[in-house]
With several copies, the nearest count.
Chain A
Amino acid sequence: MTVTVRFFASYAEVLGCQSFVLGLANGATVQDVVSHVAALPGAAGVPPAPLIAVNHSYANLSHLLADGDEVAIIPPVAGG
């Protein structure tokens, strides 16, 4: 299966990337995406356990992923 991984704001800047499609084995969790991201160039600017959203809702590292999911790595929010 594949999921779309999205980056925003400072994370998009340090990684030099806003989005990519990642192939994963069935049964993969958010943790697998986070581990993949941690190995990317520039990943020093992303904390080891960042905020995550799956399909526009906040999710835990243990959240089970499905084919086609959108996984967003969310920098500390600063709205208002």
Chain B
Amino acid sequence: MIRGRLTQSEIDTQGLIVEVAESGNGATSVFIGTVRSRNDGRDVQSIEYSSYEPMAEKEILMILREASERYGVNNIAAEHRLGEIQIGEASVVIVAAHPHRGPALDALRYVIEQLKKRVPIWKLEHYSDGDRSWVSAAENHA
């Protein structure tokens, strides 16, 4: 089960965990990226995520397939939310399951690192003072 997708609604972490579940797996790793209240010293109100959607979906799937091959992880899924996301809400959830913990953890890290480097998604931060700005890659270290 390899599944990647973009969504406009809240991400169901528990649902993704259930989706990758398989009785032969002993380890499931999960990464949840959430919108945080401060970034580079400014009070963030919300973040608007936009994307080049067909390419982003293709790229996410490519990353999942790479992780699957590299670490032998057959149960892996990633979901990225688009649109306006509030503080504390999840923008991205990645789940990887494997019989053993090493590959499950390695695959998880690979996917989040690659996703942040390659997937055409952008953040427009809205600040409490009414200002807004595009987050550039160098600042994107959540």
Contacts and interface: CB of A to CB of B under 8 A. Distances in A.
A21 interface: no
Contacts of B135: 78
A74 interface: yes
Which secondary structure dominates chain B's binding surface? mixed
Interface string B48-61: 01111011101000
Interface stretch (A3-11, A28-36, A60-68): A3-11
A78 B52 contact: no
A72 B135 CA distance: 19
B44 interface: no
Interface string B32-73: 010000000000000001111011101000000000000000
Interface string A64-80: 00000000101111111
B50 A8 contact: yes
Contacts of B119: 77, 79
Interface string B114-134: 011111111110000000001
B112 interface: yes
B23 interface: no
Interface residues of A, number: 17
A72 B120 contact: yes
Interface residues of B, number: 32
A76 B115 contact: no
B54 A80 contact: no
Contact of A72 (B52, B112, B123): B52
B122 A75 contact: yes
B91 interface: yes
Interface of B: 33, 49-52, 54-56, 58, 80, 91-92, 101, 112, 115-124, 134-140, 142
14 contacts: A8-B120, A8-B122, A53-B120, A72-B55, A72-B120, A77-B117, A77-B119, A77-B120, A77-B122, A77-B137, A78-B122, A79-B80, A79-B122, A80-B121
Interface of A: 6, 8-10, 13, 53, 56-58, 72, 74-80
